[in-house]
A and B are shown apart, each in its own frame.
Chain A
Amino acid sequence: MYDGGKIITGIIIFLLFATFPFYYNIGKANVKPDPKLDTPVIKQLAEKKCVESKEYMRANHMQILDDWRNMALREAKRTYRNAEGKLFEISLQNTCMKCHSNKNKFCDECHKYANVKPYCWDCHFVKEGGAAK
């Protein structure tokens, strides 16, 4: 092989450079998010249930929040009747955050892990303790 030494050195440098993100992030990003549901309000609930099932909320909370805001604000339909017929006032601050008052451990935990930055909290106010800002 002509110039074998140079080629192999080059390949090694390239590999080190290309795999840099992997060893740079070892031990950092793989800390699994651990959202908590242990707020005082939730602890007192007889039946620990969100507006819809846990599975549905986990997969579709962003969709339901989007529907909620459009329905409440634009259609003036500020009450949500869930699949079981229970009624809820549509309000992020007054309904969602009443139970999930631990924004740091409930919202931010996964959002940070997934690197999504919802701008809800620029306007919707959460009291200190739950507040990120």
Chain B
Amino acid sequence: MSMDRREFLKFIGLAGLGLGIGASATGWIFSRGLEASEYIPPPGALTAKRWAMVVDLSKFKTEEDYQRVIDACHKIHNVPDFGNPKDEIKWIWTDTYEHTFPGQENKFLPKEFEEKPFFLLCNHCDNAPCVRVCPTKATFKRSDGITMQDYHRCIGCRFCMAACPYGARSFNWRDPRPFIKEIDPTYPTRTKGVVEKCTYCVERLAKGLQPKCVEVSNGGLIFGDLADPNSEVRRILNTHFSLRRKAELGTGPSVFYIIGGEEDV
């Protein structure tokens, strides 16, 4: 059988078309397996455009006020206690005024600021440096402003720890499981070699609950939507002078401190 150029081109063209149709049909058949199923945001979840927290330090008076909040957070999130500061894992913790607001110290500040502990946690920055440096996008920004991490993707490079100006991130140098006093079976632990931090309790927001620290703070921590002018956080920020940690770095932290000198909020 002989074929001239015109017939050959026709034949090739048709064959190509047939292959294309066949391939896309096979793809469609295999991909449609569960087309009726879908993923939706949980009904009843708390949602916002921009989550933020206000720390009203006038509400924290005794050591116990701080410890209660720290323990509650660390307990439900299976945060280990290695018992030494080098391996320490922390989601929420305290430090002194001069470490919280470096450059803002002056020797004529009220005496109480010398001893008063300040609550520190991840600032969930608008322009989070940890997100920018993460090579695997394990640390990422959610649409509601929460800086979240995906431990499945974390390779333990610790770039985020170097990038974070707030020291909010901790690395698991060892398997944390043996160092968790009582494991909460409803929440995962972490594994050796991943970096962890506060998540603004995304798992609780999904169930319509406030973050645990807010819940047990007796009004000292206030959580809400910064983009909603009628929210509690906006109301407080409208009427009180507030500070953010190292705002001059341009990271846009979303944790606001009210450090006293005013009436109750």
* Contact status B202-A77, CB under 8 Å: no
Q: How far is the CB of B150 from chain A (nearest CB, A)?
A: 5
Q: Does A132 contact B (CB under 8 A)?
A: no
* Contact status B183-A125, CB under 8 Å: yes
* Contact status B39-A56, CB under 8 Å: no
Which chain B residue shows the least CB distance to A84? Answer: B36
Q: Does B106 contact A (CB under 8 A)?
A: no
Q: Does A89 contact B (CB under 8 A)?
A: yes
Which chain B residue shows the least CB distance to A126? Answer: B185
Query: Given the complex of chains A and B, what is the CA–CA distance between A76 and B142 in angstroms?
Result: 8
Q: Does B152 contact A (CB under 8 A)?
A: yes
Contact-size category for A: 20 to 34
CB contacts under 8 Å to A, within B154-195, are 177, 183, 185-192
Q: Does A39 contact B (CB under 8 A)?
A: no
* Contact status B33-A60, CB under 8 Å: yes
Query: Given the complex of chains A and B, what is the CA–CA distance between A75 and B206 in angstroms?
Result: 12
* Contact status B185-A79, CB under 8 Å: no
* Contact status A125-B185, CB under 8 Å: yes
CB contacts under 8 Å to B, within A79-107, are 79-85, 87, 89-90, 93-94
* Contact status B190-A123, CB under 8 Å: yes
* Contact status A125-B34, CB under 8 Å: no
* Contact status B39-A75, CB under 8 Å: yes
Query: A73-B150, A93-B186, A125-B183 known; A81 and B40 CB under 8 Å?
Result: yes
* Contact status A79-B39, CB under 8 Å: yes
Q: Does B43 contact A (CB under 8 A)?
A: yes
Query: A123-B189, A124-B188, A125-B183 known; A74 and B41 CB under 8 Å?
Result: no
Q: Does A110 contact B (CB under 8 A)?
A: no
User: Contact flags (1/0) for A47-87 with B, using CB distance below 8 Å?
Assistant: 00000100010001000000101010111111111111101
Most B CB contacts (10 A, CB to CB) among A76, A84, A125 go to A76
CB contacts under 8 Å to A, within B131-167, are 140, 142-144, 148, 150-152
List 12 contacting pairs A-B, 8 Å CB cutoff, sorted by A: A60-B33, A76-B142, A77-B39, A79-B39, A79-B43, A81-B37, A82-B37, A83-B36, A85-B36, A87-B43, A93-B188, A125-B187
**17 extra A-B contacts, CB within 8 A, seeds A79-B42, A81-B37, A122-B192:** A56-B33, A73-B150, A73-B152, A76-B143, A79-B41, A80-B39, A81-B38, A81-B40, A82-B34, A83-B34, A85-B36, A93-B186, A94-B186, A123-B151, A123-B188, A124-B188, A126-B185
Chain B residues with CB under 8 Å of chain A are: 33-34, 36-43, 45, 78, 140, 142-144, 148, 150-152, 177, 183, 185-192, 202, 206
